[in-house]
Amino acid sequence: MSASPPLRVVQWATGALGRYSLRDLIVRPEFELAGVLVYDPDKSGRDAGEIVGLPPTGVACTDDVDRILALDADCVLHMPLPAAYFGGDPTTDVETICALLSSGKNVITTTGFVYPQRYGPGLVERLEAACRTGGTSLHGTGINPGFMSDLLPLALSGLSSRIDHVYVRESSDFRGHPSRQTVVDLVGFTLSAKDYATAVRPFRAFQRALFAESVQLVASALGVALDEVEEIDEFELATEEFEIAAGVVRPGTVCASHWTFSGLVRGRPFMTVECVYKADAAKVGRWPRPGFAIHLQGVPQLMVSVDDVSHGLAGAAARAVNAVAAVCAAPPGILTLLDLPLVTGRGTVRLT
């Protein structure tokens, strides 16, 4: 029996996250790199291997979207910063994804779409129509959301006879994060309180939408109808100067932020996701240390913790790359994590 041919995959964007997945696509034999879309003009025309410090691949990066749309490929790993970051219309991401799906390419994206049903039948029908046109599927993924705040709580729920409240906490250390665009321009670290309030608006909208999807997904899977998803955020100012990979944090500038997303039923939280972001966890004592925690309150009480994820970007990239085979094999349409078999580090396992 002959081995299956490698899946042809396009890497869309080569920022801090996309470089991890691009490296995986190049070195893993089950994939063939079909193309690379870049936003930086200095990367256009360069060999994809050069971008990630690997030998030449024979695939040149391009900033021409039409060339990518015309490619023959099985899947696109869509990993840009959200359109709102660039000051554009947030629906630009939807338009791009629909164009890729209609062109006959499955799409795995890290820009959201963990649970598009949260936005109502209009968006769902638009995405489904693109899937029907191309005979393709869409899947949104990541680590949190996309794994820690959705897949793991649902897996633990199989041990519950009653669930009263689902709590997930993520605390992340941005000390080594290499992207100034993400750490400073998007998350707002190193900015004054005044500048932070203005700069973080697009990020706040993105966060609210992204985690509302995750909370709605879990609630829906557990048969709970939420009335609303409430978001609260606050920030911390540095008391000393210190350096991180993305720049210098000075006294009086933002060095941490705390976000809470609560899915409410009759005014009471059924699910709460707490996110803590620190410029340097060693310098910020307020709020929990890095790691993940999941609590299921009910019968029985369940608590699971992940003390640290050393390279969160690598994990988010791997989660998307490892889903390629399952998404390509699935029937056309929108795929949440509930629609896919268990995705593992080297393939898929279907539990029966």
Two tokens, residue 9: 């995959």
pLDDT at residue 146, as a whole number = 86
Mean pLDDT, rounded, for 112-122: 93
Is residue 206 pLDDT above 90, yes or no? no
Whether 183 and 174 have beta carbons less than 8 Å apart is answered as yes
**Can you give the pLDDT at residue 231?**
95
Strands 247-249 and 242-244, by their bridges, are antiparallel
Exposure string for 165-193, b = 16+ CB within 10 A, e = fewer: ebbbbbbbbbbebebbebbbbbbbbbbee
Contact 162, 231 (CB under 8 A): no
| H-type alpha helices, the chain | 18-27, 48-51, 65-70, 91-102, 121-134, 151-157, 180, 193-199, 201-221, 312-322, 324-329
pLDDT reading at 88 higher than 70: no
pLDDT at residue 1 tops 50:
no
Least confident of 59-63, 184-188, 244-248, 296-300: 184-188
pLDDT at 141 over 90: yes
Give the whole-angstrom CA distance, residue 52 versus residue 48: 7
Query: Residue 320 above 90 pLDDT?
Result: yes
Global pTM value = 0.91
Burial of 93 (0-12, 13-18, 19+ CB in 10 A): buried
Q: At what angle do helices 91-102 and 121-134 cross, to 10 degrees?
A: 30
Confidence of residue 348 (pLDDT cuts 50, 70, 90): low
pLDDT in tens, 263-313: 999 999 999 999 999 999 999 999 999 999 999 999 999 999 998 777 778
Task: Give the total residue count for the chain.
Answer: 352
Of 88-92, 172-176, 207-211, least confident by mean pLDDT is 88-92
Closest by CA to 17, choosing from 70, 80, 62, is: 80
Is residue 84 very low, low, confident or very high in pLDDT (cuts 50, 70, 90)? Answer: low
**Residue 256 to residue 188: CA distance in whole angstroms:** 9
Q: Which two tokens stand for residue 133?
A: 């046109």
pLDDT in tens, 225-236: 999 999 999 999
CATH number for the domain whose boundaries are 7-142+314-349: 3.40.50.720
Give just the sign of the alpha carbon dihedral 205, 207, 213, 218.
negative
Domain ranges of the chain: 7-142+314-349, 151-308
Q: How many whole angstroms separate alpha carbon 210 and alpha carbon 214?
A: 7
Q: Are 107 and 75 in contact (CB under 8 A)?
A: yes
What type of residue is 257?
S
Residue 259: which pLDDT band, with cuts at 50, 70 and 90? very high
Residue 352: predicted pLDDT: 43
Residue 49's Cβ-side half-sphere holds a number of Cα atoms within 13 Å equal to: 9
Rg (CA), the chain: 20
